[in-house]
Amino acid sequence: MSDRTLAALDGVTRTYSGVAVLDEVSLSVGTGVTAVIGPNGSGKSTLLGVLSGAVEPTAGTVRYPEGGPRSGSEKRVGYLPQRVPFRDGFTARETLGFYAALAGGDPDAALAAVGLSDAAGKRVADLSGGMRRLLGIAQARLGDPDVVVLDEPTSGLDPEMRERAFRAAARAGDDAAVVVSSHDLDLVDAHADAVVVLRRGRVAAAGRRERLLDERGVDDVAALYRAVAAGTDGASSPAGGGAEEGGESGGADAESVHVTGVSDR
């Protein structure tokens, strides 16, 4: 994992109907796999949307120091939202061909990279849920982006396909920053270089996975989640840290807000 920062959020707040879903979030992301974890409604999808450029922050800034859509670089951010509007009548190859015309890249190579070469001629309607998620990961990786943002790429999949999808996502982190949200903490433990724990719209902990485990005195990410996201360790920390710099922001005393239609963001 490199110390090179490929994306950074500075004091990002995002509100919906006056409710802060993200509250002054600051973090930086470098090469490798950064996993974003936290309870439902903690702001994971909104954070990834802001990082990808799909969601505009209400306040704060998003920077791509060495790549991305606002840096002047030809490279881009690849983004896989939770719900991908692929057309059912297109084949897998035709689907990637459409996106490759916009972002660049070889559709057949992208399919091979996620293990879908044999399904290239299948219509999207005939693909399993897991194969659709793999197709989405392939789409996000087209054009060799510096930053790949994947929102719950393993959601709703069986254990074998979850492992396959997470491995495919992690492979893009060899020379890019891959930011993935996930509830599969065993897969985060196996593949993530860094972890960001969100709680009530704030960063409760962020840094290299091994360092966070050592600091909390826990053995795995599941125990880290219980300690930090559930607020059981009672730790307080300074604001403004990042996934690369190892700081933390927010805390267990952050106010809890639940709003129907907003808290699932």
Query: CA 164, 230, 194 angle in degrees (round to 5)?
Result: 45
Least confident of 68-82, 100-114, 125-139: 68-82
pTM of the model: 0.82
More confident residue, 81 or 175: 81
Q: Which two tokens stand for residue 211?
A: 């360092």
What's the mean pLDDT in 131-149? Answer: 92
**Residues 240-263: tens digit of each pLDDT:** 333 433 333 333 333 333 233 333
138 in helix, strand or coil?
Answer: helix
- 1-76+145-265 CATH: 3.40.50.300
pLDDT digits (tens, 9 = 90+) for 215-245: 999 999 999 999 997 665 544 333 333 343 3
Q: What is the DSSP letter of 82?
A: S
**Is it the case that residue 67 has pLDDT exceeding 50?**
no
Looking at this protein, which amino acid is placed at residue 175? D
Contact 182, 156 (CB under 8 A): no
Helix, strand, or coil here: 111? helix
| Rounded (10°) CA dihedral 222, 148, 55, 59 | 80
* Stretch among 141-155, 164-178, 192-206 having the lowest mean pLDDT: 164-178
The strand ranges marked E within the chain are 5-16, 19-30, 32-37, 59-63, 77-80, 147-151, 177-181, 194-199, 202-208
Average pLDDT for residues 58-77, to the nearest whole number? 69
Give domain limits for the chain: 1-76+145-265, 86-144
Q: β-pairing, 194-199 with 202-208?
A: antiparallel
DSSP letter for each residue of 163-227: HHHHHHHHHGGGSSEEEEE-S-HHHHHHH-SEEEEEETTEEEEEEEHHHHHHHHT-SSHHHHHHH
Average pLDDT, the chain: 83
Q: Note the pLDDT of residue 96.
A: 96
Task: Determine the Cα–Cα distance for residues 202 and 138; give it in Å rounded to an integer.
Answer: 30
